[in-house]
């Protein structure tokens, strides 16, 4: 059994002038959202033993806040450029490359790839309310937890997962809704 945690980057600052989208930082609402989601992970003792992430600034800044709040600051993320604005198919390739030793993997990156990944891995039939909520929208700083009955990440395929948790910053602090989702 493996678990996959999908963490979308925090709300980014569109008002900051940057030359490249890759360099866009998170904003104050994003910092609060990343901290709340990290605290949620710690409170619920969600294990994570490896992190793979996009090296985009908004993801690195998200993890800089999320990891200490989650009690995961001892884990050095594996920065993988393929995750930046990747399709779900590319993200599956990234996950397959992680090997068998990571039992509890966290991937952090961008939409629409991460939302599509969750929906590809969890079958529509029998997906329940959590899958329906993810299908509605995977907002910034949102976290999706999936369980997979595989021994090695190389065996990862579509329709193999069960969503066990879906949490958004606004679920933890109603003051973060709905503007946090406007991205």
What is the block-wise mean pLDDT of the chain (183 residues), using blocks of 10 residues?
A: 97 84 94 98 97 98 98 97 97 92 96 98 90 96 97 95 97 78 46
Q: What's residue 178's pLDDT?
A: 66
Cis? peptide before 143, omega within 30° of 0 = no
| Three-point CA angle 17, 78, 141, nearest 5° | 50
Provide the token pair at 25: 């930082």
Q: What's residue 146's pLDDT?
A: 98
150 C-beta neighbours (distance < 10 Å), count:
16
CA 169 – CA 178 distance, rounded (Å): 10
CA 1 – CA 116 distance, rounded (Å): 22
Size (the chain), residues: 183
């Amino acid at each position: 059994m493996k678990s996959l945690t999908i963490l979308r980057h925090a709300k980014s600052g569109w008002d900051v002038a940057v030359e490249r989208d890759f360099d866009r930082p998170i904003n104050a609402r994003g910092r609060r959202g990343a901290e709340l989601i990290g605290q949620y992970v710690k409170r619920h003792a969600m294990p994570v033993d490896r992190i793979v992430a996009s090296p985009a600034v908004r993801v690195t800044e998200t993890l800089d806040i999320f990891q200490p709040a989650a009690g995961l600051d001892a884990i050095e993320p594996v920065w993988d450029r393929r995750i930046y604005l990747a399709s779900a198919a590319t993200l599956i390739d990234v996950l397959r490359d992680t090997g068998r030793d990571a039992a509890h993997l966290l991937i952090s990156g961008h939409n629409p790839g991460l939302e599509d990944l969750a929906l590809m891995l969890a079958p529509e039939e029998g997906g329940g309310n959590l899958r329906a909520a993810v299908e509605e929208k995977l907002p910034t700083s949102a976290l999706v937890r999936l369980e997979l009955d595989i021994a090695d990440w190389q065996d990862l395929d579509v329709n193999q997962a069960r969503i066990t948790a879906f949490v958004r910053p606004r679920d933890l602090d109603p003051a973060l809704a709905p503007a946090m989702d406007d991205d």
